[in-house]
Amino acid sequence: MTKLLRLLAVLLFIFAARPAAATPCNNGPMVTCYDYLPQYQTANPAWRYSHQCCDLYNHTTVWYVYIDDSSGQWYLVYTDIPS
């Protein structure tokens, strides 16, 4: 029983020492998204890409910020920048 407890203690130490999985929001300085911006799955072709931001609440989701130059409105888009 003592060997089993020692083994468990060693395994616990090994797993506790492992670094947490890095997310894009934690890899470097990225701004936090405003929570009042409208959210869309895809961007309108008329919108201009501006920058990326991290979700205000879970801080793991990366949103792409687009701007409609005709109205000055900003939008959060979940999918990647279209080619």
54-80 per-position pLDDT tens digit: 988 887 888 999 999 999 999 999 875
10-46 per-position pLDDT tens digit: 545 555 554 455 566 777 778 888 888 999 999 999 9
pLDDT value at residue 22: 55
Q: Does residue 2 lie in a domain region? A: no
Give yes or no for a contact between 33 and 53, defined as CB atoms under 8 angstroms apart.
yes
**How many domains does the chain fold into?**
1
The domain of 29 spans 23-83
CA torsion 21-27-33-39 (nearest 10°) is -60
Q: Does residue 57 lie in a domain region? A: yes
pLDDT value at residue 8: 53
0.85 cut: is pTM over it?
no
